[in-house]
Amino acid sequence: MTGRFITIEGIDGAGKSSQIGYLVERLCSRGLEVVSTREPGGTALGEKLRELLLHEPMNLETEALLMFAARREHIARVISPALARGAWVVCDRFTDATFAYQGGGRGLAWWKIETLEDWVHGDLQPDLTLIFDLAPEVAAGRLARAGNAPDKFEREQAGFFARVRMAYQERAAADPTRVRVVDADRPPQVIRDSVDAIITPLLPP
């Protein structure tokens, strides 16, 4: 018995969090064991690395390597064991985020990320990835209204998020079976319905 691995992506301010809450509720209501987790983070060590990654200035390659170090720990301790016992794992960001942020946003060579991906989880890919897609200007407005202190990534300029968004779109175009783009510039209930339509065929009868 193996579970399903679902990852959730999008630029900062795209509204992932509320949709993740809904998705987890929906899966739990079907009696599935659901593990809801996030990257960077998801383990005690991973959360320490998250603190550094979100707040400490560092070299770009260091940033990518630490993302993957946290990911390795997360896979070994949380994701793989959960999938092996048949749980559904819903993960707020995964390797597509490294392609989008470190690759697209900051310009790290794609092949370097592919090399790390192959090393760290060559045998594991999400069954489904939802990318919540939103124009950077709209996302910035949402973040500003939320009023939380911005982290290192959230302080980046619109041009950065335009590149992140484009890289996400490239990831989706390269693997349209796994990656589904959800238009996040709609009312929450309409977005939920789109998520439902994508998830329902995956659910056990």
Interaction site with ligand TYD (CB under 6 A): 12, 17, 39-40, 67, 92-93, 97-98, 101-102, 153
Q: How far is the CB of 63 from ligand TYD (least distance, A)?
A: 7
Q: Is 10 annotated as a binding residue?
A: yes
Q: Is 15 annotated as a binding residue?
A: yes
Long-range contacts formed by 104-111: CB under 8 A, 24+ apart: 104/163, 104/164, 104/165, 104/166, 104/167, 104/168, 104/170, 105/156, 105/160, 105/161, 105/163, 105/164, 105/167, 106/60, 106/63, 106/160, 107/60, 108/60, 108/61, 108/64
Q: Is 16 annotated as a binding residue?
A: yes
Between 39 and 73, CB nearer to ligand TYD: 39
Q: What are phi and psi of 181, to 5 degrees?
A: -95, 130
Between 102 and 129, CB nearer to ligand TYD: 102
Q: Is 104 annotated as a binding residue?
A: no
Q: How far is the CB of 153 from ligand TYD (least distance, A)?
A: 3
> Binding site membership for ATP: which residues?
10-17
